[in-house]
Amino acid sequence: MTTAPPPPARRTAPDRALPVQQPPRPPRMQPPPQRGKKTPLDRTPRPKHKDRGSSIDLAITEIAGHLTFTPNTVTAWYWLPEVRWAFRPDAEREALLSAISEQFAGLAGFRLHLRRTTRPFPADQWARVVDGNTPHPLPAGAGPTWADHLVAAQKHLLSINHAEGQTYLGIAFARRTLGDTFAERIGALFKRGVGDAERRRMARTVEQFDEVLGAFGMRGRRVTSAELEWLLYRSVALCMSPPGQITTLEGAWDSGDLLALTEAVERYRTPYGSTVKLVNRVTGEERHVAVLTVGRMEPLEIPERHEPWLHFHERLPWPMELSSRIDILGPGDSFRNLEHRLRLIRSQQADYTEHGIDAPPELERLAKRALTIGDEISTGLPVDSSRAHGWHRIAVGGRTREECLERARRVTQLYSREMRVALQHPKNQDWLAREFIPGEPLANTGYLRRMPVKLFAAALPQAASTVGDRRGDLIGRTAGTSRRPVFLDLHFPMEVRERSGLAVFVAEPGGGKSTLMGALGYLATRRGVQVTLLDPSGPLARLCSMPELAPYSRVLNLTGSEQGTLAPYALIPTPQRAHYAPGPPGDREFEIAVSNARAERRMLVQDICMMLVPPQVAREASTATMLRHAVRQVPAEESSTLEDVIRALRDTGDHDAAELGNLLLDTAEMPLAMLFFGSPPSGLLGPDAALTVITMAGLRLPDLKIEREYWSAEESLALPMLHTAHRLAVRRCYGGDMSQRKLVGLDEAHFMEGWRSGRSFLVRLARDSRKWNLAALVASQNPKDILGLDVQNLVSTVFVGRIAEDAEIAAEALRLLRVPTDVGYEQTLAALSQVDTSSSSRLGFREFVMRDVDGRVQKVRVDVSYVQDLLRYLDTTPGSQTPSTTVGGEVVDIRDDDPEDDR
């Protein structure tokens, strides 16, 4: 169905309001003539009321439910949910595009109106959700209060101008057919509504639309009254600030009600017609809009090489509007149109031959291409033979005309450089801007794009880039083809999804693992969560000196702790009967848990003793046998000590066992080794502190690539210290109420994977996290440490940072993310947090590829700059304490130096 272009616009002066066209009035129905003699009462003149009619600046005459009416057509509107696209296997992408293509082919013969609009992120609603899920926030200290923290996060969200995309699809069909009776037409004319026969016919047509769009692919549903009203407001006030609150009118909208959509907005032509100026006469807001149209397109390879071509503009930092009018042509219409084009080509070739001139070679190529397409149309399936003829517009807004034109230039440049798609800036911008309003006709038929329905399906404006949840803390934004805020509640997997609470961080040194873990620990502490962080190098201990956390935090430096702090028997807590269900089944589970705790203590003690003796002795088979026999003699309770194991070795009467005990005693003479001997001090990790940071400042960790024989004495003791420090950090979380929220962050987890007790510890931590409402953050440089434990199905959240040095490690990280390997994603990991080699300034941000508990994978940029001074306390770069640098004698903030930002 095609629509004639509107008449030429009247010449007006710059910034002059556009003329308002009056809608056509219905014909006046003359009353039937009266028969018989007229009475004096009949001859009495009736008063004539000449009321002024309503002036509606819309083609829509009525709205009923999800249907909009014009004098000649009805449009059924559907809402299309967002679909996952990024980091998805090409086979799944192709299946999705194939399903959408079949749905579009099923709408052959209709004109579609595809609208993509935006809704500002509801920062106030998010803050209320976060506050509702935080029943006991940390009391106010010397720093900002909990309310100040939420206000700062909301201001940050509003300053970045995050917007959520919404996609609508309208299907237009004829309002009346020849089957409608004359009586129905007359009744509808008098009632200014829709007749019963017309309603029944429309209901049957709409049910067919529901069936086609509701299947896999688009999964469309009928729009609600609020959604349709929002679309109309956003279309009339194009690129302007949306109304604060929309009061949806229930029932149908008649012509008088539609005035509310247009009366507040005035439209003006700007000089030279390059933009349209919209003015809200109520609020005084002004906005300039430039409408771009899609021109010539080079062949696109989607999904192999290119992104969806009507979603690509969303990588820019400001919201834009999209409108596409498409005619879906079936095989018959497509073939007739193609025959006409082929006749034109043959006629041009004949003209060249008649005049004795060589025809350009492109004519022959076009003819061959037309024959190939004709064969597809005549012999192919409906999805192959259908064609989409459409006009695609992108509206770019700005506060001033100069800003609007600059943004339009950047959008045009982006499409031309990356997608090889030419965007044009046509004339008659006021007509083009009206195209975005549902029911309005086409501005002109220029720049018509003819393509198969498969290519139009690959436009996919509803491609999603969301990740995380909507009830957690703000940790950054997505950094892929669109920008969306990223929220993360580390207890969402346990409390809502009933999954494990294990989160894994993987990145090479300097990838940002420690900074991200510290930021999550800070945010959780502010929400009243009991947090324990193990940071062997020690920079995260500075969190405890922040004014708002200082009264409720403590730092435990193991290198200066008392004797017995890391006593292995005491590190594994004894299960409590109250944590299990009453009755015989609960008794059985409790007995099994006690037995498992004793077996785990024996395993841990054996591994610690093997770490304390020289490596030459540890490699002998008899050493493990003697230790296992001695540990079996000692009760596996919390009160036992390593001295009991040494005593058991001496009491065996075996000379070798006694020598092994003497070696352990020799190790105990070293200051750091005294941490493993004796009993732990009372109240070591009490529940009084909201944040506890365990460090081993000054301790040098060994390189696992070097043989143990070449380790220094300090490096040899660092291994058992780190092994037991992980246990000490988790032990605090096993006390108190099981349902209380707890968080533990463990760094350098790759030291645990090489020992039996370490592997069993990580497996039990993943399995117990849901039962204990424990969010466990485990950081490692090598994803093999996690994959080797066979707990990948227990990992709820994954953060993978920059991995550029080892392709094999990058492939293992992709396996952890559950995305395809050997398809180019390894280069994506290598390009994360990429440094500009031409600049001497530091990189002020870190990027990760994140997979959330729902399996969505996106590239994210961590941004917690809204928390005052947090980045300064988390800065782990040597020789620097502030997240800024000096350029030309001027201090420059480098927290987020993305040149695309437009705040």
Is 668 a residue whose pLDDT tops 60? yes
Cα radius of gyration rounded to whole Å, the chain: 36
pTM here?
0.83
Q: What is the mean pLDDT of residues 791-801?
A: 88
pLDDT at 40 over 60: no
Is-contact 540 678, C-beta < 8 A?
A: no
Between helix 713-731 and helix 756-768 the angle, nearest 10°, is 20
Of 684, 733, 715, 727, the closest CA to residue 563 belongs to 684
**Which of 163, 450, 445 is closest to 322 using CA atoms?**
163
Helix (H, G, I), strand (E, B) or coil at 468: strand
Q: Which pLDDT value is given to residue 776?
A: 93
Evaluate the omega torsion of the peptide bond into residue 303 and state whether it is cis, within 30 degrees of 0.
Answer: yes
Greater model confidence, 118 or 732: 118
Mean pLDDT of 446-464: 92
**Three-state SS for 641?**
coil
Q: Residue 192 pLDDT > 60, yes or no?
A: no
CA distance 364 to 372: 12
pLDDT at 159: 86
Q: What is the mean pLDDT of residues 289-309?
A: 92
Mean per-residue pLDDT, 257-274:
84
Q: How far apart are CA 756 and CA 871, in angstroms?
A: 37
Phi, psi of 231 (to 5 degrees): -60, -40
Rounded to whole angstroms, the Cα distance separating 414 from 318 reads 14
Q: Running DSSP on this structure, what letter comes out for residue 668?
A: H
Decide if pLDDT at 309 tops 60. Answer: yes
Residue 461 near residue 308 (C-beta atoms within 8 A): yes
What digits encode the pLDDT tens for the residues 46-103?
566 666 656 668 889 888 889 999 988 999 999 999 999 988 888 899 999 999 999 9
Q: pLDDT tens digit string along 74-90?
A: 999 999 999 999 888 88
Q: Tens of pLDDT along 560-604? A: 888 889 999 999 989 988 888 899 999 999 999 999 999 999 999
Residue 111, pLDDT score:
94
Q: How far apart are CA 371 and CA 393, in angstroms?
A: 30
Distance CA 9, CA 7 (A): 6
- pLDDT winner (highest mean) among 423-437, 701-715, 829-843, 879-893: 423-437
DSSP 17: B
pLDDT band of 888, cuts 50, 70, 90: very low
- Report the Cα–Cα distance between both ends of the chain, in Å, rounded: 43
Closest to 406 (Cα-Cα) out of 288, 306, 295: 288
Phi, psi angle pair for 62, to nearest 5°:
-160, 150
Q: Of the given ranges (292-301, 575-584, 799-808, 874-883), which has the lowest mean pLDDT?
A: 874-883
Mean pLDDT is lowest, of 32-36, 248-252, 407-411, 691-695, for 32-36
Tokens describing residue 674: 């005294």
Distance in angstroms (rounded) separating the CA atoms of residues 146 and 615:
52
By DSSP bridging, strand 530-535 and strand 742-746 are parallel
Q: Given the DSSP bridges, would you call strands 286-297 and 846-851 parallel, antiparallel or unpaired?
A: unpaired
Question: How far is CA 591 from its chain centroid?
Answer: 45
Percent of the chain residues topping a pLDDT of 70: 83
Amino acid letter at 698? G
Q: What is the pLDDT of residues 137-156, one digit of tens each?
A: 998 777 889 999 999 999 99
Percent of the chain exceeding pLDDT 90 equals: 42
Average pLDDT value for the chain: 83
List, for residues 737-751, the tens digit of each pLDDT value. Answer: 888 999 999 888 777
Structure tokens at 307: 């992104």
- Which tokens is 429 given? 């911008």
Q: Cβ distance 146 to 140 under 8 Å?
A: yes
What local confidence, expressed as pLDDT, does residue 395 receive? 97
- pLDDT computed for residue 867 by the predictor: 92
Q: Which of 178-182, 323-327, 463-467, 557-561 has the highest mean pLDDT?
A: 323-327
Q: What does DSSP assign to residue 677? A: S
Residue among 832, 884, 806, 840 nearest 510 (CA): 832
pLDDT digits (tens, 9 = 90+) for 484-502: 899 999 999 999 998 999 9
Q: pLDDT, tens digit, for every residue of 848-871? A: 999 999 999 999 999 999 998 898
Q: Are 515 and 526 in contact (CB under 8 A)?
A: no
How many Cβ atoms are within 10 Å of 653's Cβ, its own excluded?
7
d(CA 881, CA 865): 15
Bridge partners (DSSP) listed for residue 886: 891
Grouping H, G, I as helix, E, B as strand and the rest as coil, residue 772 is coil
Contact 875, 883 (CB under 8 A): yes
Most confident of 29-43, 325-339, 517-531: 517-531
> Is the pLDDT higher at 704 or at 26?
704
